[in-house]
Amino acid sequence: MKNEVQIQEVNPKSLKGRREFLKISGIAAAGTGLILTGCSLDDYIPDPNSQAGQLPGKRNGVFDLGGLDFGVLTYAYALEQLEADFYTRVVNANGFASTFNSTEQQVLVDLYKHEVIHRKIFKKILKAALPNPNRQLLPDLAFNYGSLNFSNRDQVLATSKALEDTGVGAYNGAGRLLSNPDYLLLAGKIVSVEARHASAIRSLINPDSKDFAGDDIVNSSTGLDVKMNPSEVLPIAGGFITTAFTAQFLP
């Protein structure tokens, strides 16, 4: 069935049967955490402890997200690339109209439009603010969703729930790393939208329940949503990202 709400057409590459995990140079899993090992810098960066030294860019031939404000913005840009790509595939999948009812289609199309806009916002800000965007702007990432069937309602909604919940936790955890109030304001506006997305998807999965603000995401004692550090988020998002990059300056 023709999809009349498409903003941008995509032609997804054929997906492999096995999910490829994030290839982060210098990061090794150990117990319940991640070990970020140092690596030499081979480009324009004189001191990795300085603000200039933590700019995004290639180190040892692999792109690093960087640190401080630009690192956080680049980190958010990577996550928005993932969400935008996911929903683009959802709304352009064969059988989209037959897989989801009219209400579900409207929600998913709205989420698609929002995430594409978020991706554009971060790209525009970074291109304008980075000293050398030709070398410091995160490239377009590649994704692999493994055996995920985009024509399977339950699989799509479960993946959407995981992405949205993780996105909210990621913004909550990254806000403290921002020093520029304008960037913090932007992050606050976007995380509020991401939280609405998470609630909407949870309500589609389990209508008329308390899951839209379940105890697994909102602490019943404090009334606060979860927060996650980049080192907790990237291995989750990395289950879908096949482009190699590092994140040695983010906690």
How confident is the model over 119-174, as pLDDT tens digits?
999 999 999 999 999 999 999 999 999 999 999 999 999 999 999 999 999 999 99
Within-domain flag for 101: yes
List the structure tokens of 90: 């959802």
Taking only the tens place, the pLDDT of each residue in 76-122 is 999 999 999 999 999 999 999 999 999 999 999 999 999 999 999 99
List the structure tokens of 65: 């997200």
DSSP assigned state of 34: E
Within-domain flag for 14: no
**DSSP annotation string for 182-244:** HHHHHHHHHHHHHHHHHHHHHHHHSTTSGGGG-TTTB-TTT--B----HHHHHHHHTTTB-S-
Within-domain flag for 248: no
5-19, 68-82, 92-106: least confident range: 5-19
- Cβ 34 vs Cβ 235: under 8 Å: yes
- Cβ 197 vs Cβ 161: under 8 Å: no
Give the Cα separation of 238 and 17 in Å (integer). 16
b/e sequence 168-178, b meaning 16+ C-beta within 10 Å:
bbbbbbbeebb
Higher-pLDDT residue of 113 and 9 is 113
Give the Cα separation of 73 and 51 in Å (integer). 14
Please tell me the total count of domains within the chain. Answer: 1
* Residue 49 binned pLDDT confidence (cut-offs 50, 70, 90): low
Q: What percentage of the chain exceeds 90 in pLDDT?
A: 69
Within-domain flag for 105: yes
Burial of residue 238, with CB atoms counted within 10 A of its CB: 0-12 exposed, 13-18 middle, 19 or more buried:
buried
* Per-residue confidence (pLDDT) for residue 50, from 0 to 100: 64
Taking only the tens place, the pLDDT of each residue in 188-211 is 999 999 999 999 999 999 988 777
Within-domain flag for 251: no
- Cβ 165 vs Cβ 73: under 8 Å: no
Residue 8 has pLDDT above 90, yes or no: no
* Per-residue confidence (pLDDT) for residue 222, from 0 to 100: 76
103 is in which domain, residue-wise? 69-240
Residue 40 has pLDDT above 60, yes or no: no
In angstroms, the Cα distances linking 120 to 50, 80, 103 are 28, 9, 26
Higher-pLDDT residue of 215 and 148 is 148
Q: What is the mean pLDDT of residues 67-80?
A: 97
* Per-residue confidence (pLDDT) for residue 47, from 0 to 100: 58
Consecutive H or E run containing 97:
helix 96-99
**What is the Cβ-side half-sphere exposure of residue 185, based on CA atoms within 13 angstroms?**
3
List the structure tokens of 131: 């000293």
DSSP assigned state of 66: -
Within-domain flag for 46: no
Within-domain flag for 219: yes
CATH of the domain at 99: 1.20.1260.10
* Per-residue confidence (pLDDT) for residue 210, from 0 to 100: 76
For residue 226, what are the contacts with CB-CB under 8 A and spacing of at least 6?
Answer: 165, 168, 169, 172, 217, 218, 219
Helix (H, G, I), strand (E, B) or coil at 117: helix
Place of tokens 């490239």: 139
* Per-residue confidence (pLDDT) for residue 194, from 0 to 100: 96
Within-domain flag for 49: no
